[in-house]
Amino acid sequence: MTNSSRQTRAGLLFVAPWLVGLLLLTIYPFLQSLYWSFCRYDLLNDPQWIGVENYRRLAAEIERGDEFGQALWNTVYYAALAVPGSVLLGVGLAVALNLRVRGQAVYRTLFFIPSIVPTVATSILWLWLLNPTRGLVNRLLAPTGWAPTWLNNAAEAFSPAQLWAGTAGLGSKDALALMTLWGVGNFMIIYLAALGNIPRELYEAAQLDGAGRVRQFTAVTLPHLTPVIFFNVVMGLVAAVQYFTQAYVVSGGSGGPEGSTRVLSLHIFLWGFKYLDAGYASAAAWVLFVLVAAVTLLLFRSARRWVHY
């Protein structure tokens, strides 16, 4: 056996555990769920082939706006607030914390700490903070006479229908987005690293041309941050459609009130493991997969217009 063959054999032996795990724990369940999506399957008895019935059911629920349709809207609404909000807040904090001031390291640490607090602990903390009667947030808002009911309310601050009807207000999904923005420190760190890689000569040249701070930000800082912004938008989108733990904890696993916190991941979990309808849950997961793949593809195509490398 040649030395090259020995190295190849040794390499395959080292990666074999990972390859076995990939096949058994990722690829096999992935393909199995595709088969289950065309079956009636309660996890207790053998799957029964029913064709596209589960997908017809999902289409009907989207048309009516209930069950899967409501969960889809909840996820879209949450993502529309959380993803852009995380980008704006992350960039703003990074630019502010990139200024050379006394105690810079302390400020960076304080803003980063919330992102490493365990998710369940964070959710329980926010349950207390957003309590309508005893929560710290509403106590701080008391002088203004504004007392949102937050997680006890299904209202939506930016819902077109509720804005038109005059019934819009801060509700559960707005609270979930607020909880996400509180943990934006992980994005902030990435933006800080990107800011450190921008050549100082560009700022000096901009100053010589008479550019002020705002013009330097729009002409130098922002274009150099666009690759990182694009990365965080894609990762934020993936995280938004996988959003589960916080919604489960704050609603007690029910998705309430009135289904307003039942995002797609929680909806799939409830139908798969509470109601034991794994066929329907698998179909919902595949619809979610296709939707995320389509949106991600659109993001990559749009990147040609605004991402500068």
Position 159 scores a pLDDT of 74
Domain positions in the chain are 64-306
Position 166 scores a pLDDT of 60
Position 270 scores a pLDDT of 95
Q: Give the number of other CB atoms < 10 A from CB of residue 213.
A: 12
- Fold classified for 64-306: MetI-like fold (1.10.3720)
Nearest 5°: CA angle at 301, between 242 and 304? 125
Residue with tokens 């509180």: 182
Q: Which token pair is 269? A: 């979990």
Q: How many residues appear in the chain?
A: 309
Q: H or E segment at 66?
A: none
Q: H or E segment at 40?
A: strand 39-40
Question: What tens-digit pLDDT sequence spans the chain (309 residues)?
Answer: 577 788 888 888 999 999 999 999 999 999 999 999 999 999 889 999 999 999 999 999 999 989 999 999 999 999 999 999 999 999 999 999 988 888 888 999 999 999 899 999 999 999 999 998 889 998 998 888 888 888 988 888 887 766 665 666 788 999 999 999 998 999 999 999 999 899 989 988 989 888 888 999 999 999 999 999 999 999 999 999 999 999 999 999 899 888 999 999 999 999 999 999 999 999 999 999 999 999 999 999 999 899 988
Position 145 scores a pLDDT of 82
The CA-atom distances, in angstroms, between 277 and each of 27, 52, 71 are: 22, 15, 16
Position 129 scores a pLDDT of 93
Nearest-angstrom CA–CA distance, 109 and 180: 18
